[in-house]
Structure 1
Amino acid sequence: MDARNAVMRILPELRELEEVDFSKYSSRYLPLISAFAETGRTGLTEFEAFVRENGLESSTVGNFLISLFQYLLIRYRRYNEYSVVKPAIKVFITLKGWLNENGFEKEWKLLLHNFAGYIVDMAGKTAEREDCETALAYFTTAYRLAEEAAENFKEKYFGELREKAGEMLKSLHERCGIEGEPPEKREKGC
């Protein structure tokens, strides 16, 4: 089974992954995800169960998601492929949920620290290419991640990132004819 189909068995809800070029995907998790795909099972929860059934640590699931996100980010940075933008943001949000739900909060903070700027940059590309509704959804998510990063990390960069994301979101609101300020964060995180 090819890499795209194996990944899609784990994350079937991320239809945007169908547009991604997986020809260079050579993760060490490829044999594992291929074996999972061959079982006919689908979904992240089923993949977690499969990992446990095979005597592997639950962190394997998080590590696979991280490797997938890194691959998407490489495709974006190295090949300037827009097709990876939306799935990368969705995988990042999936990672946030999975890591925090499974006791890997420290790992989430490290990922947020390292990649918040990339998420804001990628979400900015949706403002250039997508309809208002889609662009607002992705950029609002990026804005909230920038806020979370600014709250958690005291480096000047993260305050500036939040400001930049806020300005970009405000500009998007103006372009789309939406009155008022960008949405306030309703709860901690996204």
Structure 2
Amino acid sequence: MNTKRAIMRIFPEIPEFKEVDFSQYSTPYGALLIAFLDSGKTGLREFEEFVEENGGTKADVGRFLISIFQYLLIRYRRYGDESVEVPAFKIFLTLKGWLNEHGFENDYRRLLHSFVGYLVGIAGRIAERFDCEIGPAYMKTAYLLTIESEETFGGEYFSELKEKAREMLEEVYRKCKIDRTLFEKRKKDC
């Protein structure tokens, strides 16, 4: 339970962690998480500083973040746990920014290569269950990740995944009565 509270303290912007079962989450950073919780600090930047003040490195923070993402995906794939869908998507986007910002671009590319297909599936499930403000945002983000993966890796799989995500996005737009021409116009203006 303390591990969950520590994770929620590191990611206050992801309140959906409250619904996630962390009882099977195992990490070598458990003692560090509890010490961070006890420190009263909040946020990823503060956690990063706390790790470094206690002899750790940015690589340790990166490994910890990746371990949370992997745990969420295991719960999603193995148990069909819907409560992890939004947190998994959000933590992936956090990883994208954090890894690239701190010089771990290769780790990000490996994650994108390995898990973009799962992210498309997760976004599709989120779009089915949530309203027409939230659902399209997740699906559009997943579609943009497939464009990035196709441009980065090439290959038939990523091309087909991009096409599948585009079709899913168009379906969400139809369901939500979103004018696709506005999206196309914005893309051209950028």
Tell me the number of residue pairs that the alignment of Structure 1 and Structure 2 aligns. 186
**TM-score normalized by the length of structure 1:** 0.93
Residue deviations 1:55-88 (CA, integer Å, cap 9, x gap)? 1111111111100001100110111011100000
Partner SS, residue 132 of structure 1 = coil
Q: Which amino acid aligns with 2:68?
A: L
Which residue is equivalent to 2:24?
A: 24
CA distance in 2, matches of 1:121, 1:182: 25
Shift of the alpha carbon at 1:100? 0.5
Which residue is equivalent to 1:149?
A: 149
Shift of the alpha carbon at 1:182? 8.4
Shift of the alpha carbon at 1:183? 3.8
Residue deviations 1:104-159 (CA, integer Å, cap 9, x gap)? 11111111001100100111101221111111111111111111101100221001
Partner SS, residue 21 of structure 1 = coil
CA distance in 1, matches of 2:130, 2:97: 25
CA distance in 1, matches of 2:126, 2:182: 17
**8 A contact 1:62–1:99 mirrored in 2:** yes
**8 A contact 1:123–1:138 mirrored in 2:** yes
Quote the sequence identity (%).
55
Which residue is equivalent to 2:9?
A: 9
Shift of the alpha carbon at 1:181? 5.1
Map 1:31-180 to 2 at 5 A. 31-180=31-180
Residue deviations 1:11-64 (CA, integer Å, cap 9, x gap)? 111001111111111122222211111111010000010111011111111111
Shift of the alpha carbon at 1:101? 0.4
Q: Relative to structure 1, is the Cα distance of residues 27 and 182 closer, same or farther in structure 2, using a 3 angstrom cutoff?
A: farther
Q: Relative to structure 1, is the Cα distance of residues 182 and 119 closer, same or farther in structure 2, using a 3 angstrom cutoff?
A: farther
**TM-score normalized by the length of structure 2:** 0.93
Structure ranking higher in helix proportion: 2
Q: Which amino acid aligns with 2:70?
A: Q
What is the root-mean-square deviation of aligned Cα atoms in Å? 1.5
Q: Relative to structure 1, is the Cα distance of residues 23 and 182 closer, same or farther in structure 2, using a 3 angstrom cutoff?
A: farther
CA distance in 2, matches of 1:137, 1:148: 17
Structure 1's consecutive aligned runs of 4 or more residues displaced over 4 angstroms after TM superposition are none
